[in-house]
Structure 1
Amino acid sequence: MVVNMIFSLLYRGLIVLLLIYFLKFFRNGYIARRRVKSLAAQGIPIATYSLFFGHLGIFGDFRQAHPPDVNIHVFHTWLAKTYQKYFPGLEKIPPVVYLDLWPLGPSFALVYDATAIPQFTQAKVLPKFNGSVDFMEPLTSNLDIVTTEGALWKTWRSRFNPGFGSRNIIALLPELIEEVSVFAHVLKGLTGKDHGWGPVFQLKEKASNLTFDIICRMTLDMQFHQQTSKTDIPLKKAYLDQLSLMSLQNNSARGILERKMPWHRTIINRNNRLMHNLIKPFIDAKLQSDGSDTTSQAKTVVELAIRHIDKSDSPKSSFKPTADSQFINILISNIKAFMFAGQDTTTSTICFMFKFLQDNPECLARLRAEHDEVLGVNPEDASKALIANPHLLYNLPYTLGVAKETLRLCPLAAPAKEPPSADFCLTVPSSPIRYPLEGFAPWIAMGGIQRSPDYWERPTEFLPERWVASEGDPLYPRKDAWMPFSIGPRNCIGIELALAELRLVCVFVARTFDIGEAWEDWDKKQ
């Protein structure tokens, strides 16, 4: 009798919980749909909309038009091309595009107007989008400057700024040259006999090893020689395994279930423990040296972070390494964040850059001519010339233009922010409409802005010369429309490093090798 009563109570309790869940579920759906209808009632253009599916159909069309592993940020460019299907009658895509993705995701406001971006990245700096914060948590425990906010972010950003500044990049140029020279040597081993074509290979794999070695060298002078290793070293293997878990967890369909599995967090903790144990000895050595070597101009990011501890902090002696030191934990979390932020993005940019140069041989010829003029006609002399005069790297305007134009056409990140309060609206010069952001995460439509004819002459063409054009020239670029590293105080800290890497890769590769895309050969090899 008592057992029956217990089961009856449990059954009723379960029914009540399910009822509460479904009521909350449908309430959220009602709010999401009502919010979009309210926008339409204000005269704001809304994309083709379904009462039951919201704007999920648009994402379905995008997925059907692209391979499964497409970078989600390509969506911005694709929507700018196909907008007439979803905004019939409009001559151009609206400056703000609202997307209601309930119940599979949050609601977004895609911002296609460059003048509106500073309103939520500079005039008012909105917090990082929670989805991005959750994505980084398995790697950094959200102790990094990518995801933290407020005083903690300000303190650590100021500590890391000197290490990523142009002055320190120049000081560390010999180390960067050494790593890029190894990259060129690896490519030389893949060429054919008598200067012919070698076997097909994945350029991204080789470029990934380069950028991994560089970020390790820059942050803590860690030399793991990933480029010359036949397999992934333990640090990179653990890092890549963690990224795989993060991507799986971020999958809306599988991620919810995956996060509940007991082994998921176990593997995450194991990878973090392994990375911690591999990185910590390098930090210990720097802390024990206490930054006393002031004779050397070259300093790693971590060394300068230790040296530039704010006056308001406790004395440096209180930060001597201990097993549970929060100071060390934050350093390691940020090193992993730098790996994430700088490694894959620069890797992909290198690949896109050589693809554009292959497709535009006149640009490759001009690039090579600039290197001959500034660095000497013998490519093997480039290293000596740059080490003797590091500022020559900054005397290659067309080379910088190749890098910037690649980043314009193929931006690899597009920050989103948390939805602001009810009274926060965006305005654009071309429209009297005020665009409310309550309930919508503002998402910079980077690919759309950087290919928009509103801001760029011949917007879809690869034209590095636009970056050496004089003011008044139709090709002269608008500064506010180029933002692959974002803008405002929360912009990417690694801008100078990324551009230095891309220039060096051009210098050491462009005159020595021809690189060609070979998908058919690759497919045959598989």
Structure 2
Amino acid sequence: MEAFGVPALRLSVLQGLGAMLALGAVYVIYRLFKVRLTFRALKAQGIPMMPHSFLLGHLPIVFRLVKSVAPDIHLACLPQLIMENWQSLFPYLNACPGAIYLDIWPLGQPVLFTLDPTLAAQCLSDQSLTHSKMSHRYIRPLTDNLDLFSVYGATWRTWRSRLSPGFSSRAITALVPALIEEVSIFRDILRSKTTKGGDWGEAFLLEPLTTKLTFDVIGRAGLDIRLRDQTNGPSPLYSALLDQMNHCLIQYNILTLPTVLSPIRQWKMWRNSRTMREYLLPSIQARLGDPGTFKPKYRTIVDLAVEAARKETTTDALEDIKSGPLQPSKEFLDSLIAQLKIFIFAGHDTTATSIAWALHNAAKHPATAEKLRAEHTAVFGPDLSTVIPQLTANPHLLNALPYTLAFVKETLRFAPPGGLSREGSASFQLAVPGCSVPYPTEGFMIYDGIIGGMRWGAVFPRPNEFLPERFLVGPEDPLHPPKNAWRPFGVGPRFCIGQELAITEIKMALVLVVRELDVDCAWDKWDAQRNYKGSKHTVDGHRCYLTGQGTTHPTGGMPVHVRFRDLQA
């Protein structure tokens, strides 16, 4: 009987585990040979290749480059590090390649990243290429891949056409009074961080404040609701979404497997999804009723989606849908909630960091900041108290700030939110100028190395200088960026739909803050307040650099202090 008892069961389990481990080992060896031989074959075809180890691929190069700067630097900076060290990595070439293969298996999928804007445009504009598997896996905990970023074909076209009017110039202009209310709260919070006498106040983290600002803005743009995260937060939506982002993983490999399979992670993701749905659904349902009884001040993202759904579902037999309550399918509601969540994510995660970097650059480049202030004085006059009334009465004044727009563009050139990626295909090959061999993409993640590409001297002369003027000169000027060179929001048909809202929000923050307040990094003060004695890494001599997982963020949340400017100086 013992043969059929617990010892036998344990033996069977151990044998099963042993078989699984053996199969896993066989797969790892198979993949190792397959990936490494692929890179050797590419080199044999004449494609430029960095020094490549059959055992470790390009991981030694990656670790060495990252170690040379800061261990927590964002991996999206890797193309920049390779570009800056191209002479030692490609000593047989006369210039840095515009597209580079990178073997980081087994820590990640083999990568083909682009620096050249023409090559990036080839990939981002090709409709046959889907977003990378890594991107889909990363965003899945948030939207179940029902969002505009994740869908394709007819579904993508339907939702894009439904939502695009909400991000048009006309829609953004109508939204300006609401934006003013939220950005004014942000400015008032900064004012509260000052001290009397014009001295610097205590150090605090800027990014959490800009994050709450952008949350409140998306609440207005998406649903015309006051989340009030800046003043009364955190709201349940804010807490749930930020916690959900902690469970979004860039890499799914043997190192992250315990996290991926964790039942605690699964439960937290389910809880966060339920919280966000319960928070968003009532405002959606209010707009599904009779349109004659619901009169929004302006058309939000949800309003536009519901209006489009009415038109799409109205037939001769269902004319009453135009005026009566709309009964959408669960699929429609799930997709609409997914769109709201992706917009909240993009709005808070990218615009928030961009506002922080814009204020950082105003402090870091005082001569440029003075040009910024001079433009604001020329457009709005010297009396700061009249700015909000003027903008409220005439939102188009924001379009009369060419230097401010150029300042925003240069900020995004230095600190973009991160590059976009596509999944390679057997039917798509990169045509690289000057190379007779097409670059195959099947089995590779094609990554737009935007951080490196927008610091590439071959494309942006004087790449390490903060020069908004490069966006004000004509094509005859060497500083003028070539087509598709500036692409923090992507290029092609799937460029970021919220680009104009993001830029408008950043411009408004600059208009309401930079003439009245100095906002500068305060790392030493922040360290002293925390009694911090740990490592103090720098990149290009600064402790603020791009870090984080997923999209990029400033180091440590960007500690700053604030003071009132001497307006008489």
Alpha-carbon contact 2:106-2:253 (below 8 Å) kept? no
Q: Which residue identity does 2:402 align to in structure 1?
A: P
- C-alpha change, 1:254 and 1:31, in structure 2 (3 Å) is closer
Alpha-carbon contact 1:321-1:328 (below 8 Å) kept? no
Q: Matches of 1:223 and 1:321 in 2, distance apart? A: 26
**Aligned residue for 2:144?**
141
Deviation per CA, 1:366-422: give whole Å up to 9, x if none: 11111111112112211111111111111100000010000111111201111211x
- C-alpha change, 1:11 and 1:224, in structure 2 (3 Å) is closer
**Aligned residue for 2:238?**
236
1:89 CA drift (Å): 3.1
Per mean C-alpha deviation after superposition, the further-off stretch among 513-522 and 19-28 is 19-28
Alpha-carbon contact 2:416-2:488 (below 8 Å) kept? yes
**Aligned residue for 2:361?**
356
Alpha-carbon contact 2:182-2:216 (below 8 Å) kept? yes
Deviation per CA, 1:208-228: give whole Å up to 9, x if none: 111111011110112111111
Q: Which residue identity does 1:89 align to in structure 2?
A: Y
Deviation per CA, 1:189-220: give whole Å up to 9, x if none: 11110232111111112111111110111101
Deviation per CA, 1:87-113: give whole Å up to 9, x if none: 233333212111112212101101111
Alignment of 1:378 with 2:389, yes or no, is no
Q: Which residue identity does 1:465 align to in structure 2?
A: E
**Aligned residue for 2:507?**
503
Alignment of 1:53 with 2:60, yes or no, is no
Task: Find the residue that maps to 1:109 and give its secondary structure.
Answer: strand
> How do 1:470-489 and structure 2 match up within 5 A?
470-489=474-493
**Aligned residue for 1:389?**
394
Q: Matches of 2:96 and 2:338 in 1, distance apart? A: 40
Alignment of 1:342 with 2:344, yes or no, is no
Task: Find the residue that maps to 2:113 and give its secondary structure.
Answer: strand
Q: Of 486, 489, 494, which aligns to 1:490?
A: 494
Alpha-carbon contact 1:105-1:252 (below 8 Å) kept? yes
- C-alpha change, 1:126 and 1:191, in structure 2 (3 Å) is same
Q: Matches of 2:68 and 2:231 in 1, distance apart? A: 38
Q: Matches of 2:298 and 2:402 in 1, distance apart? A: 25
1:350 CA drift (Å): 1.3
**Aligned residue for 1:161?**
164
Uncovered stretches (5+) of structure 1, i.e. residues with no partner: none
Q: Which residue identity does 2:509 align to in structure 1?
A: V
- C-alpha change, 1:50 and 1:313, in structure 2 (3 Å) is farther
Alpha-carbon contact 2:363-2:369 (below 8 Å) kept? yes
Q: Which residue identity does 2:283 align to in structure 1?
A: F
- The alignment covers a number of residue pairs equal to 521
Q: Matches of 1:94 and 1:450 in 2, distance apart? A: 14
Q: Of 398, 404, 409, which aligns to 2:403?
A: 398
Alpha-carbon contact 2:121-2:484 (below 8 Å) kept? no
Alpha-carbon contact 2:107-2:251 (below 8 Å) kept? no
Task: Find the residue that maps to 1:479 and give its secondary structure.
Answer: coil
Q: Which residue identity does 1:242 align to in structure 2?
A: Q
Task: Find the residue that maps to 1:176 and give its secondary structure.
Answer: helix
CA RMSD of aligned residues (A): 2.3
**Aligned residue for 1:523?**
527
Q: Matches of 1:446 and 1:71 in 2, distance apart? A: 13
Q: Which residue identity does 1:290 align to in structure 2?
A: P
Q: Matches of 1:200 and 1:321 in 2, distance apart? A: 51
**Aligned residue for 1:78?**
81
Instruction: Give TM-score, length-normalised by structure 1.
Output: 0.93
**Aligned residue for 2:540?**
none
- C-alpha change, 1:291 and 1:72, in structure 2 (3 Å) is farther
**Aligned residue for 2:288?**
287
Task: Find the residue that maps to 1:481 and give its secondary structure.
Answer: coil
Alignment of 1:307 with 2:312, yes or no, is no
Alpha-carbon contact 1:375-1:382 (below 8 Å) kept? yes
**Aligned residue for 1:275?**
276
Instruction: Give TM-score, length-normalised by structure 2.
Output: 0.86
Alignment of 1:443 with 2:444, yes or no, is no
Q: Matches of 1:397 and 1:291 in 2, distance apart? A: 41
1:70 CA drift (Å): 2.6
**Aligned residue for 1:222?**
225
Q: Matches of 1:208 and 1:500 in 2, distance apart? A: 16
Q: Which residue identity does 1:507 align to in structure 2?
A: V
Q: Matches of 1:376 and 1:132 in 2, distance apart? A: 46
**Aligned residue for 1:105?**
108
- C-alpha change, 1:344 and 1:417, in structure 2 (3 Å) is same
Q: Matches of 1:253 and 1:222 in 2, distance apart? A: 43
Q: Matches of 1:5 and 1:290 in 2, distance apart? A: 69
Asked which structure has the greater RCO (Cα within 8 Å, sep 6+), the reply is 2
Q: Matches of 1:474 and 1:9 in 2, distance apart? A: 72
Q: Matches of 1:360 and 1:14 in 2, distance apart? A: 60
Q: Matches of 1:446 and 1:428 in 2, distance apart? A: 17
Q: Matches of 1:180 and 1:8 in 2, distance apart? A: 66
1:321 CA drift (Å): 5.8
Per mean C-alpha deviation after superposition, the further-off stretch among 411-420 and 84-93 is 84-93
Alpha-carbon contact 1:350-1:502 (below 8 Å) kept? yes
Alpha-carbon contact 2:362-2:514 (below 8 Å) kept? no
